[in-house]
């Protein structure tokens, strides 16, 4: 089967942990590889403002046999298209849209739809799998374009030796291809969980439209499935739960002392690790304030504790392509000041996965203080590596962290409560080891092969899809 995967606002080979790159980039990269391993041909489409690898640089993208190189590479100049052969079965395409930010990209959805509709590899798709609302809305509009063109041409779509007839047949496949959508985050849920109204009305309206029109909605957890039904009024029969995976060949327990030597940590340090973008929704401020609170409540423990924030700035006030901070971001200015005033906190830039696993192995505890989280991939990766997490009891995180068994859950974002949980684990070696062992066992349920199988097995079961398509195409 030929599958088009859309990750328009962020390239799957961008370095997670900065700008708009995060767990979704890992999800797209790993699920695409699982699709190829299952024998499918995959075309991945992005329009990342930072280019093919999200950095806006000019070097060649490095690709190896197991994962796309991160931190190198570049996209095209404005108006130029680009492609990258990741493997024999996976091609990454960059669509030439002159957007400098994710918000500008959201305002160019019609242009994105036109570019997709005109692309022969997209027109040849048997299945379209879109990630995030911008990709999903563009896919729906591109399919509408294909349907309209077919209706105007009156062509049956039968292939012949003529190249024009083959092109029409390709358009027919795009017009009839089911559209699966992974939201990754839902605007209404982010507003609800963070008690804000930061999400654009355009996004909120589009997501309800997507929930009504997509053939399959892919939820990472039962909690996300409930949100799709309750917040976006999705038909429950159109939603499948497909838990994300973990690259178990990479993320596995190993020597803590060896990992610490490689990273330059002392053997007697207590390492508290935060991994991900630095933004309000991820609760970076909670992590910093909790470590400051720990210094007040237990100065001796705090004196040998190092809090590592492994990531870069993200969200409002951050430039695309590198994470440069604009002074207009009040949250990031306040966060920077808080970090500067807490001596135990150290910020390090995001790293490729083969180095990230050393951080998981070297640390004593991972903290995931997200205000909203559809899944929480870093918690799953850490668990597979033998690192227990203290996580917010929101969204999909309880799927990964079973309170008191494979980690600890915190019900709110009060830094005092987070400091208490950190102190508990840092001072109880036996409990920490017990949680770590159970975390490894729990992480075994997360497998990328199972993820894509759950999606592919559910696509033909969408009731009414063929009838709707046939009617729209004029009984093609």
The two tokens of residue 34 are 């699982």
| Helix (H/G/I), strand (E/B), else coil: 308 | strand
Range of the domain at 201: 2-245+449-473
Same-domain pairing of 421 and 307: yes
Burial annotation 340-376 (CB, 10 A radius, 16+ → b, else e): eebebbebeebbebeebbbbbbbbbbbbbbbbbbbbb
The answer to whether residue 350 scores a pLDDT higher than 50 is yes
| pLDDT given for residue 121 in this prediction | 94
Cα angle vertex 308, ends 429, 316, to 5°?
Answer: 135
- Domain contains 276: yes
Q: Name the band, by pLDDT with cuts 50, 70 and 90, for residue 158.
A: very low
Same-domain pairing of 345 and 398: yes
If you average pLDDT over residues 1-18, what whole number do you get? 92
| pLDDT given for residue 319 in this prediction | 45
Same-domain pairing of 59 and 128: yes
| pLDDT given for residue 78 in this prediction | 39
Same-domain pairing of 335 and 460: no
- Domain contains 250: no
Same-domain pairing of 279 and 340: yes
pLDDT tens-digit series, residues 121-148: 999 999 999 999 999 999 999 998 877 6
Same-domain pairing of 213 and 74: yes
- Domain contains 392: yes
- Domain contains 441: yes
Q: Name the band, by pLDDT with cuts 50, 70 and 90, for residue 18.
A: confident
Computed over every residue of the chain, the mean pLDDT equals 86
Number of domains present in the structure of the chain: 2
Cα separations in angstroms, 423 against 296, 397, 410:
12, 21, 13
What is the CATH number for 44? Answer: 3.40.50.2000
Q: H or E segment at 144? A: helix 133-153
Same-domain pairing of 274 and 418: yes
- Domain contains 278: yes
The whole-angstrom separation of Cα 416 and Cα 323 is 30
Same-domain pairing of 114 and 49: yes
| pLDDT given for residue 211 in this prediction | 97
Specify burial of residue 78 (Cβ count, 10 A radius: 0-12, 13-18, 19+). Answer: exposed
| Cβ-contact 33, 42 below 8 angstroms | no
| Helix (H/G/I), strand (E/B), else coil: 180 | strand
Same-domain pairing of 426 and 466: no
The two tokens of residue 3 are 């599958």
Give the closest residue to 408 by CA, choosing from 362, 368, 363, 358. 368
| pLDDT given for residue 323 in this prediction | 44
| Cβ-contact 368, 378 below 8 angstroms | yes
The whole-angstrom separation of Cα 351 and Cα 21 is 12
Cα angle vertex 400, ends 30, 207, to 5°?
Answer: 65
Cα separations in angstroms, 269 against 78, 200, 302, 353, 474:
48, 43, 10, 23, 69
The whole-angstrom separation of Cα 50 and Cα 438 is 40
The two tokens of residue 435 are 């949680």
Same-domain pairing of 272 and 386: yes
The two tokens of residue 399 are 């799927």
Same-domain pairing of 91 and 208: yes
- Domain contains 109: yes
Q: Are strands 270-275 and 239-241 parallel, antiparallel or unpaired?
A: unpaired
Same-domain pairing of 455 and 427: no
pLDDT tens-digit series, residues 353-401: 999 999 999 999 999 999 999 999 999 999 999 999 999 999 999 999 9
- Domain contains 23: yes
């Amino acid at each position: 089967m030929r599958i088009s995967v859309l990750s328009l606002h962020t390239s799957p080979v961008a370095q997670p942990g900065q700008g708009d790159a995060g767990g979704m980039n890992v999800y797209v990269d790993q699920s695409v590889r699982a699709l190829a391993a299952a024998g499918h041909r995959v075309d991945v489409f992005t329009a990342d403002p930072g280019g093919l690898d999200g950095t806006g640089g000019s070097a060649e993208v490095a690709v190896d046999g197991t994962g796309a190189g991160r931190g190198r590479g570049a996209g095209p100049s404005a108006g130029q298209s680009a492609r990258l052969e990741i493997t024999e079965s996976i091609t990454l395409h960059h669509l030439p849209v002159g957007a400098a930010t994710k918000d500008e990209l959201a305002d160019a959805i019609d242009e994105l739809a036109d570019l997709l509709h005109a692309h022969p590899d997209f027109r040849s798709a048997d299945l379209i799998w879109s990630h995030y609302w911008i990709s999903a809305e563009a896919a729906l509009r591109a399919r509408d374009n294909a349907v309209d063109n077919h209706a105007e041409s009156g062509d049956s779509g039968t292939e012949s030796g003529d190249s024009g007839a083959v092109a029409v047949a390709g358009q027919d496949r795009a017009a009839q291809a089911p559209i699966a959508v992974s939201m990754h985050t839902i605007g209404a849920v982010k507003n609800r969980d963070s008690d804000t109204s930061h999400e654009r009305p355009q996004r909120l309206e589009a997501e309800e439209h997507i929930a009504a029109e997509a053939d399959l909605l892919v939820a990472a957890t039962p909690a996300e499935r409930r949100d799709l039904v309750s917040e976006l009024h999705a038909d429950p029969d159109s939603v499948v739960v497909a838990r994300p995976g973990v690259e178990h060949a990479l993320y596995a327990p190993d020597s803590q002392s060896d990992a610490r030597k490689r990273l330059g940590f002392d053997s007697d340090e207590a390492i508290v690790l935060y991994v991900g973008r630095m933004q309000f929704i991820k609760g970076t401020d909670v992590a910093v304030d909790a470590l400051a609170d720990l210094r007040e409540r237990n100065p001796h423990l705090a004196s040998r504790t190092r809090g590592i924030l492994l990531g870069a700035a993200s969200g409002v006030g951050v430039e695309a392509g590198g994470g440069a901070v604009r002074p207009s971001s009040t949250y990031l200015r306040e966060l920077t000041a808080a970090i500067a005033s807490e001596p135990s906190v150290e910020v390090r830039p995001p790293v490729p996965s083969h180095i990230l696993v050393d951080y998981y192995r070297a640390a004593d505890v991972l903290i995931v203080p997200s205000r909203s989280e559809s899944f929480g991939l870093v918690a799953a990766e850490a668990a597979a590596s033998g690192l227990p997490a203290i996580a917010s009891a929101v969204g999909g995180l309880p799927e990964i962290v079973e309170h008191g068994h494979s980690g600890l859950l915190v019900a709110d974002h009060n830094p005092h409560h987070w400091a208490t949980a950190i102190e508990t684990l840092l001072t109880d070696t036996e409990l920490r080891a017990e949680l770590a062992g159970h975390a490894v066992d729990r992480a075994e349920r997360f497998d990328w092969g199972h993820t894509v199988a759950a999606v592919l097995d559910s696509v033909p079961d969408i009731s009414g899809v063929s009838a709707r398509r046939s009617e729209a195409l004029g009984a093609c």
